[in-house]
Structure 1
Amino acid sequence: MRVSTVILPAYRWSERGREIWQRAEELGFHAAYTYDHLSWRSFRDGPWFGAVPTLTAAAAATSRLRLGTLVTSPNFRHPVTLAKELITLDDVSGGRIALGIGAGGSGFDATALLRGAEEPWSPRERADRFGEFVELLDRLLTHDVVTHEGTHYSAHEVRNIPGCVQRPRLPFGVAATGPRGLRLTARYGQAWVTTGDPKIAETGTPADSVAAIAGQIDRLGQACAEAGRDTGDLGKILLTGFTPAAAGPLSSVDAFVDFAGRHAELGIDEIVLHWPIPDSIFAADLGTFEKIATEGAAQIAG
């Protein structure tokens, strides 16, 4: 099992940003991701920077660490412009970029670009857009020239030369739990991303959460079977911080090893931990976090 981290874009680069991303590489994390939002929940009224510039700076400040979004969504992105930014990121990083991508939710990102009495997209429309978004993005990253006329997105003789460093393109980690999203994962994903079951995040038990994720993986397997694909070909990523846990996987090395082990048995092969942020929902002891990144990661790898 690989251990990765997600670093929220909440730091000025000159003050702490560079230091944190470089420390993530020093600690031996497999990858460091960042959120791709305009703002996010309790961080809405504080510092918050753009994902793509942050990842570009991180690529220049590191040499081994894999980098990516966790996750990007169509809420304020267009496949044409995103594809150009991604091939640039892949080039700057020397082929270390992965794209986490999801359908998006109904939060701040979903309303920031609306005009007047426009209504946010319904869940059905988000799913419709997501499907077209991923399909077009795949084409844009694998073909030199693309023309597309869709229901929601268009591209006219769009050129992406020389394409990605990673071939045939940089990997997609698709965040999905519903039938349509899982089918999309089976068709286009190199990895699948889950945060667990949000319905039981506050009221469920750790055992309930494990069972829910097991059910998600079963449904992913069914979607892969329908697509003629081996589910073993897909990485399975758990972004922590949203599942019920008795003491929390960041409370101690032993708690992390137990948490990771229970999920490894399900087939999860990458655990992503939030870099601690004091006085937030991601508050944790930094010393313990760094021990988990080194000692804990070594234990589960062994």
Structure 2
Amino acid sequence: MNNTPAIQLNDVSKKYDDFTLDSLSITLEKGLAYALIGPNGSGKSTIFRILNGLLQPHTGSIKIAGLSFQQDDYFIKNKIGYVPENPIDHGRVRASEVINFISRLYPRWDRKLCRDLLAQCEVKTDKPFNQMSKGMKKKLSLVLALSIRPEILLLDEPMDGLDFFSQKFFTEQIHHFLQQEGTSVLMATHRVEDIRRISDVLLLLNKGRFLGEYEKDQLLDNWKTLWIEQLPANPQKVAGVVKWEEGSPHRLVSKDQHKTVKDLTTSGIHITRTTPLELDEILQTILIQDGNPTHKSA
């Protein structure tokens, strides 16, 4: 079995006048879906451009399926299906002509799959590209990316502009590629529902700095809200606590509920209830507050 990572970045950096992507080192394993998460200006677009060979980093090395752009640019591009946030403008060219052109570039192009996907998501290929709606353009981009049967899918806001039914359809298609084809996925999105539905691992960025890699299910299992009647003298010293709010009852946010419960129990503090924490609050705490304990008075 080939255990070569799908994507490997080692100490990759890129500097602009007002932005620096700082020494990024990440490894993306085959068959998993990764979500690249961070506020606007974090470096997500820069990373996608580097992975597509459109930007050269100032430092570091990049491997795609064990290959480097310097020696294997053609082979790398045949392995990647890319869906940009804003589809490439093909002007007055008909969608059928776009499909015909793209199909000739990829040796693994699957005509039947393309035909079936187009029919199922109701894309009219006889229409000029510039007369298609935003949603239709995004559907076409997704169909093109999937029809090359990629080893790696790079998805930039893949569900933006799609209606509910199309979101469900393409989410199911992505899951099929993950589970049946062993495709690896790297997705950038601001939509928490897409992160929940598609991703296995979250890669968090803030202002060009990598904050860490988190398994989504572990985050949801470990991060909890604990409600207590008596506030500890030093809440910031309670194991796992990253945020607390005074009230009646008081609210503690923990990134490790088991350690927090143990500390509170040892101190004789009764927990009245424990509730799940929404994924968006977990991400905001890590990204904006960077995990440092914070306090909010009632």
Normalising by structure 1, we get a TM-score of 0.35
Per chain length, whose mean CA-contact separation is higher, i.e. which structure has more relative contact order (CA < 8 Å, sep 6+)?
Answer: 2
Normalising by structure 2, we get a TM-score of 0.36
More helix by percentage: 1
More strand by percentage: 2
User: Which of these two proteins has the greater Rg computed from alpha carbons?
Assistant: 2
